[in-house]
Amino acid sequence: MSEPSFFDIAQDMLCVATPEGRFRRVNDSWTRTLGWSREELCAKPFVEFVHPDDRDRTATESRGVATGRPTFHFRNRYRSKSGGWHWVDWKSVLDEESGEIYASARDVTREVVLHERLAAREALLTTMVAQQLHAREDEHRRIAVKLHDSALQHSVAALMFLDLVPLDDPAVREPVDLVRGEVNLALETTRLVMQGLDPLDLGEQGVAAAIASTAEELAARFGLRIDLEVDDVCVSAPIATSLCRMVRETLINAAKHAHASRVVVSIGSDELDAWAEVRDDGRGMDVVDGGTSSRSGAGLGLAFLRERAASLGGVLHVTSCPEGTCVRMVIPSLSPDAIAGGRE
């Protein structure tokens, strides 16, 4: 196949240009892409086809190529004959023998538009997740207030009333003690739930301290040994709050359902994700297709955790054996701007 026909069948827009900034020769792809004829393209300086906002840097790039510095990654916009704009990626090089510039250009308009749409959707999704996080925290506060004002107060009052019952008669004492035990259990459960709903002051104490505080509380409550491996976590407050709450739920699962005695909590983050991993030495669970369990009774809790991670665009990985369980949660980080947008 001869060189001229190879030049003309290329899908990319190929051209030969003068150092003064005019096309000397263009292939058919130019006409197919932009609608201009070869004659029209060669009739005036090519910069006149370039978007006004891109002209200065196009001129600068062209001068560089003309002095022997090749272009490998340059993008500008070219006007089509119908009036639209096409994004074009350039590669060009100077032919020192002829003094002319040989260039290959590719229409990447669709790619650019798709990228912009994807970025817009990503921004929208991020804002929605941030809104969801804030709404969830508001809901937590509301539920905590309701629990405090209702279940907790009524449980306390019930204990006080029980203290008024004369216990001289063993036939009375035994059921009263049983009722007191049940009310105390309800009270402690209410407190546990309320503490899990408490707003976390991450602004002051940070993620590591919040996790340490939670670990200390749960270690004392359940007799767990909890070791922390917390890196310097740098994530937005809502994400940090979500992670802390998920770790708390996982620790409670490990204590209550897996009957673990030792748990290791690791937390970390990078520019894309924040993650937490909770490894226990409990009795394990049946994990079906990466799903939830049936052996230990922790299945419902894990299902909630999985839903929560998914609602934040994240994932939950669970691996388990009779010697223990590892729950790893990964949540995409959110930008501060998105967080601010979510609060509005």
Gap between the Cα atoms of 204 and 240, Å rounded: 13
Closer of 31 and 184 to other proteins (Cβ): 184
* Binding mask of the shown chain, residues 80 to 119, with x at each position contacting other proteins by CB under 8 A: ----------------------------------------
Smallest distance from other proteins to CB 243, Å: 21
Instruction: Compare residues 6 and 161 and give the one whose CB is closer to other proteins.
Output: 161
The radius of gyration of the chain's CA atoms, rounded to the nearest angstrom, is 33
| Phi, psi for residue 45 in degrees, rounded to 5 | -55, 135
Output the smallest distance, CB 210 to other proteins, in A: 13
Q: Does 311 bind other proteins (CB under 8 A)?
A: no
88-102 exposure pattern, b = at least 16 Cβ within 10 A, e = fewer: bbbebebeeeeebbb
Q: With binding defined as CB under 8 A, does residue 164 bind other proteins?
A: yes
Q: Which is nearer to other proteins, 216 or 323 (CB)?
A: 216
Beta carbon nearer to other proteins, 164 or 272: 164
Please, which residues have CB within 8 angstroms of residue 198's CB and are 6 or more apart in sequence? 144
Of the pair 25, 191, the CB lying nearest other proteins is at 191
- Assess 163 for contact with other proteins (CB under 8 A): yes
Beta-carbon contacts of residue 208 (< 8 Å; ≥ 6 apart): 228, 230, 232, 233, 267
55 binds other proteins (CB under 8 A): no
Candidate ranges 3-11, 161-169, 238-246, 302-310; the one touching other proteins (CB under 8 A): 161-169
Residues 6+ apart with CB under 8 A from 325: 254, 258, 260, 279, 280, 282, 284, 285, 318, 319
Could you say which residues in the range 182-201 bind other proteins, by CB under 8 A? 184, 187, 191
Amino acid found at 216: E
The minimum distance between CB 199 and other proteins, in angstroms, equals 12
Q: Which is nearer to other proteins, 95 or 149 (CB)?
A: 149
DSSP state of 49: G
Burial 212-229 (b: 16+ CB within 10 A, else e): bebbebbbeebebebebe
Site for other proteins in 283-302 (CB under 8 A): none
Could you write out the DSSP letters of every residue in 55-110? HHHHHHHHHHHHTT--EEEEEEEEE-TTS-EEEEEEEEEEETTTTEEEEEEEE-HH
- If the CB atoms of residues 134 and 221 are measured against other proteins, the closer one turns out to be 221
| Interface size with other proteins, residues (CB under 8 A) | 16
Q: Which is nearer to other proteins, 1 or 164 (CB)?
A: 164
Least distance from other proteins to the Cβ atom of residue 324, Å: 31
Residue 187: CA count within 13 A, CB half-sphere: 14
The counts of H helices and E strands in the chain are 11, 10
CB of 184 to other proteins, least distance (A): 7
Residues 118-157 that bind other proteins (CB under 8 A): 148-149, 152-157
When binding is defined by CB under 8 A, the residue of 81, 161, 177, 199 that contacts other proteins is 161
- C-alpha to C-alpha distance for 9 and 70, rounded to whole angstroms: 24
Instruction: Compare residues 51 and 191 and give the one whose CB is closer to other proteins.
Output: 191
Using CB under 8 A, list all residues that contact other proteins: 148-149, 152-157, 159-161, 163-164, 184, 187, 191
